Structure 1
Amino acid sequence: MADLILHHYATSPFSEKVRVAFGIKQLAWTSVLIPNIMPKPDLMPLTGGYRKTPVMQVGADIYCDTQLIMMEIEKRAPKPPLLPVGQEGEARALAMWIDRTIFWSAVGVVMGAIGDQLPEAFKKDRTEFSGRPFDGERLKAAQPMAREQVYAQLSLAEQILRDGRPFLLGAVPCVADCALYNPVWFLQVRMGAGPAPSPLDRLPKIVEWSERMKAFGSGKPTEMSATDALEVARAATPEACKVDELDPSGLKAGQKVSVTPDDTGKVPVTGTLVGLSNDRVSIIRSDERVGDVAVHFPRAGFIVTPSS
């Protein structure tokens, strides 16, 4: 199997979602550490402007957003599976709901606690990323509401686990567990006070579950420099993709398109459409430092538009 190269940084919660998946599967993978704010000069040649963390690279194929990264890991290393047979849709839908709701409430709790301590460069970066001013005082004032939202949302997972099952959908972890570990881990590592900072102190099943997840570790990483990762891309050729000719968008292979996240980090990435299905969109783009690369995005949560 080609090397799985993860571009990430240590405190990135969405990176932890992927790292724990590597741990569950006990995968060997390659770690490239990137800055936690822009500029990211050794990442942009690969992504064409996409700035969220993490990004996964396999040769000259670049995978953006953990929705798709998790599916690509599953395809390339299917054992043990993260999609329970007969519950694939439930696992993926639950993961996306967690990513889009619980995570942002957890961010509100953490940023309300530490936002006024962060450097100005970080605040400026996150203002550009979110499209809203990073206001430490406003975040601090809103923290109680964010904490209660986290409590209400995680209480649903607490109820799921109350019947004694070790993981969200049964006896083994799935993509939904990895997604939920993201905000729970973020609260634990950023809020301190042991494994149960508020509101986790009211959710004992979630805390027990998080210890089971933590025990998986993060697989078997080896380090690589960002410049070496660029050389890997330059030396490789993107894998073949296919465009669904009956796709309801009407988009066609060879068409120039832009792909943009619909929530935050709304930087369009432009290239030639080479892959399109119900769950992913793939474009070819070229950069002088890496040559031709294929950049892949999940379909849900991304806007694809024709580009002149």
Structure 2
Amino acid sequence: MTDIILHHYALSPFAEKVRIGLGLKQAAWKSVDIPNVMPKPDLMPLTGGYRKTPVMQIGADIYCDTQLIMLELDRRLPSPAFQPKGREGEARAITMWADRLIFSPAVGVVMSQVADKFGEAFKKDRSEFSGRLFDPERMRAALPFVRDQTYALLSLAETMLADGRTFLLGGEPSLADCALYNPVWFIRQHLGPAAAPLDRLPKIATWMEHMGVLGHGKRADIEASDALEIAKAATPGKTSVDGSDPSGLKAGQKLSVTPDDTGKVPVAGTLVGLAADRISLARHDERVGDVVVHFPRAGFIVQAL
């Protein structure tokens, strides 16, 4: 298989979701360190404008959003599986719950207490990214609310672990664990393991110890320029369009794909792949040649151009 390349930065919580997944699979992968704010001049040629972190590259195939990155890793590296047999839907449903409901208040718990540490460039970037002003005073005022929401949501996971199971779905780690790991990891990284509301969740504390043992797999650092050359020398893999898809989209259509929550930068291209879990656009850039950019369906807005 062509090398897995992860474009990320160290304190990205969603990148940690992928890194711990690579650890679960004990996978070899290449790391490209990217800026945590725009501009990202060596990432945009690959993604066509998508600015969120992380992005996974395999040759000339570019995977955006951890929903799809994790599914693609599971497809290419099937053992050990991210999704226990017969419980695939459950694993993905818990993942969406963690990504969409827990992540935001958990980040709020952190940012409400560390926002003053960031410079003006970061504040400006995150204002543009989120669509609202990065206001440390407003964040501090929201701490009681986001802390309570995080506690309420994590308490559901605490209940899942209360029967003595090691991981969320039983004795082995899964996609669901990787998803829950990232917001809890983010709080611990910035505020410590005893920070509220983690101090009231002993089962999650033990679960984090088991998750931490997984590590990050076999990492090798490369330069961004190397990753661009790899893309330019490669040919995208085969894709197909489901002609009976309820969207009515057809192969060869010119489309844009845009996240529906934050980082709402549309990526334009030609439809070359469509399935229930993904949509794929072919595009060309002078620095990387022909690439295919893949997105998950859930959480993205598709528009005809």
Aligned-partner Cα distance in 2 for 1:196–1:80 = 32
Aligned-partner Cα distance in 1 for 2:4–2:79 = 15
Aligned-partner Cα distance in 2 for 1:165–1:82 = 17
The equivalent residue for 1:225 is: 223
Aligned-partner Cα distance in 2 for 1:24–1:249 = 35
The equivalent residue for 1:65 is: 65
Alignment counterpart, residue 267 of structure 2, candidates 254, 269, 274: 269
Aligned-partner Cα distance in 2 for 1:22–1:174 = 12
Aligned-partner Cα distance in 1 for 2:132–2:241 = 36
Deviations 1:259-305 (A, max 9, x none): 00010000000000000111100000000000010000000011111
The equivalent residue for 1:149 is: 149
Query: Percent same amino acid among aligned pairs?
Result: 68
The equivalent residue for 2:245 is: 247
Aligned-partner Cα distance in 2 for 1:138–1:80 = 44
The equivalent residue for 1:303 is: 301
Q: Displacement of 1:58 after TM fit? A: 0.1
Aligned-partner Cα distance in 2 for 1:140–1:115 = 8
SS at match of 2:75: helix
Runs (4 or more) in structure 1 with deviation over 3 Å come to none
Aligned-partner Cα distance in 2 for 1:179–1:233 = 28
Aligned-partner Cα distance in 2 for 1:196–1:137 = 24
Aligned-partner Cα distance in 1 for 2:111–2:278 = 32
The equivalent residue for 1:213 is: 211
Matches within 5 A, 1:108-257: 108-192=108-192, 195-257=193-255
The equivalent residue for 2:37 is: 37
Aligned-partner Cα distance in 2 for 1:242–1:71 = 17
Q: Normalising by structure 1, report the TM-score.
A: 0.98
- Is structure 2 residue 88 aligned with structure 1 residue 88? yes
Aligned CA RMSD, in angstroms, stands at 0.6
Aligned-partner Cα distance in 1 for 2:182–2:120 = 25
Q: Displacement of 1:2 after TM fit? A: 1.2
Counterpart of 1:35, as a letter, is: P
Q: Which runs of 5+ in 2 are unaligned?
A: none
SS at match of 2:2: coil
Aligned-partner Cα distance in 2 for 1:207–1:110 = 17
Matches within 5 A, 1:87-106: 87-106=87-106
Deviations 1:163-219 (A, max 9, x none): 000000111011110000000000000113xx2211101000000000100111000
Aligned-partner Cα distance in 2 for 1:59–1:113 = 40
How many residue pairs get matched?
A: 305
Q: Which runs of 5+ in 1 are unaligned?
A: none
The equivalent residue for 1:17 is: 17
Q: Normalising by structure 2, report the TM-score.
A: 0.99
Aligned-partner Cα distance in 2 for 1:70–1:14 = 11
